[in-house]
């Protein structure tokens, strides 16, 4: 359902690396070096920052982590990038997501802030790596991290854990390149109050609203709605079916919604019990009560009048394409197949400010 749109030079770089892999055993090292050099040159001549991704004609979303805590060789854990003109905002930064962004060639100096939905490890695990890599990429001040109550504790922990690394890099590269004062994360805590929602960031280009979702017993847990130039993107965070999510998704152009197949997770749980893995069976079964099945997500999208539903944070993983059929079984019966897509790392969706339906493409990644 998604059209692949790889950029020629990025493909050239990838193909050069593949050529090296096949040629290396039989070719002189000089020839291998030549392949490598051409591949690097091709990629550096066409950085993602110079493409239409940041041309300010559309509100955009790029999935940088569509996996869950369950293993998936092709997916990082939770991460969604929302691009507003020249800036990018990340919703969560799960383990592996920074590596995925770098495989895309994503310009990390464009990241203007991080918005955390809650503090499970698969949503915050790469915060330290993001901290370091955005600093290396040229960040000149602390990186803002927004989140509900608890964000100061999380941010303080990462700042403390990376303090020695900060010292090393400033001494090694120099204060002019790695200014010590710019290394840190800066916590911005908010309270959604009794109403269950609050505008947590606003400037001339975008309004970002946080709203409560149902991830009980994990509290607080929120989703986010991004509004810019008459277009809107909602990111659900982790949640069971939630009336407040439906409310805040009303009329959204895109809803990026977590998805857990109750059927597939049930199979894993029963198989674990049969194998005598009682601890694993319990841990897996416990996930069923605070996530949303793909069919239920589709019903929520219908109720909210959402344009395009994008499944992300997929549990379990889908290491084989054939498993996708089982994962989305029943969705087509409740929602038009043209109005939803199973997300993957690198999926890009554009919402032109001039109007029109969302368009889908794929950001090329080295080795994938």
3-state DSSP: the chain helix, strand, coil percent, rounded to 5? 40, 25, 40
What is the rounded CA–CA span in Å between residue 82 and residue 225?
10
Q: Where are the beta strands (DSSP E) in 294-363?
A: 308-315, 340-342, 347-352, 359-362
3-class state of residue 98 by DSSP = helix
What is the rounded CA–CA span in Å between residue 84 and residue 226?
9
Show the CA angle centred on residue 171, arms to residues 165 and 172, nearest 5°.
85
Under 8 Å CB-to-CB from 30, ≥6 apart: which residues? none
What is the rounded CA–CA span in Å between residue 32 and residue 301?
51
The alpha helices in 219-293, defined as continuous H runs, are 243-248, 262-274, 278-286
Beta bridge partners of 223: 211
What is the rounded CA–CA span in Å between residue 164 and residue 155?
16
Write out the catalytic residue numbers: 122
Q: Are 117 and 223 in contact (CB under 8 A)?
A: yes
Q: Taking each helix axis from N to C terminus, what angle separates 163-173 and 151-161, rounded to the nearest 10 degrees?
A: 50
3-class state of residue 233 by DSSP = strand
3-class state of residue 108 by DSSP = helix
The alpha helices in the chain, defined as continuous H runs, are 8-23, 29-45, 97-104, 121-124, 127-136, 151-161, 163-173, 243-248, 262-274, 278-286, 294-304, 323-327
- Tokens 């050239």 correspond to 12
């Amino acid at each position: 359902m998604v059209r692949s749109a790889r950029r020629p030079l990025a493909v050239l770089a990838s193909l050069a690396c593949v050529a090296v892999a096949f040629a290396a055993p039989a070719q002189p090292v000089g020839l291998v070096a030549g392949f490598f050099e051409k591949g690097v040159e091709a990629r550096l001549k066409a950085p993602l920052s110079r493409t239409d991704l940041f041309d300010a004609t559309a509100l955009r979303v790029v999935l940088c982590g569509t996996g869950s805590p369950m293993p998936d060789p092709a997916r990082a854990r939770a991460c969604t990038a929302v691009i507003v003109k020249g800036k990018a905002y990340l919703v969560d930064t799960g383990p592996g997501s920074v590596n995925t962004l770098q495989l895309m060639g994503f310009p990390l100096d464009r990241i203007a802030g991080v918005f955390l939905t809650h503090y499970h490890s698969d949503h915050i695990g790469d915060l330290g790596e993001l901290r370091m890599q955005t600093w290396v990429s040229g960040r000149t001040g602390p990186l803002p991290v927004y989140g509900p109550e608890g964000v100061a504790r999380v941010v303080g922990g990462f700042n403390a854990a990376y303090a020695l690394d900060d010292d090393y890099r400033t001494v090694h590269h120099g204060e002019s390149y790695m200014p010590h004062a710019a290394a840190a994360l800066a916590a911005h805590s908010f309270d959604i109050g009794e109403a269950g929602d609050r505008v947590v960031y606003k400037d001339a280009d975008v309004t970002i609203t946080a709203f409560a979702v149902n991830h009980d017993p994990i509290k607080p847990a929120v989703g986010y709605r991004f509004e810019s130039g008459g277009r809107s993107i909602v990111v659900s965070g982790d949640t069971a079916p939630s009336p407040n999510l439906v409310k805040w998704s009303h009329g959204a152009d895109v809803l990026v919604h977590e998805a857990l197949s109750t059927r597939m997770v049930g199979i894993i749980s029963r198989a674990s019990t049969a194998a005598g893995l009682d601890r694993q069976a319990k841990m897996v079964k416990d996930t069923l009560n605070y996530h949303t099945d793909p069919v239920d997500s589709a019903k929520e999208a219908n109720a909210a009048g959402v344009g395009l539903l994008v499944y992300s944070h997929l549990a379990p993983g889908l290491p084989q394409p054939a498993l996708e059929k089982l994962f989305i079984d029943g969705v087509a019966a409740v929602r038009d197949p043209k109005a939803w897509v199973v997300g993957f790392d690198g999926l890009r969706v554009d919402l032109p400010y001039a109007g029109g339906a969302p368009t889908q493409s794929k950001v090329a990644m080295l080795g994938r």
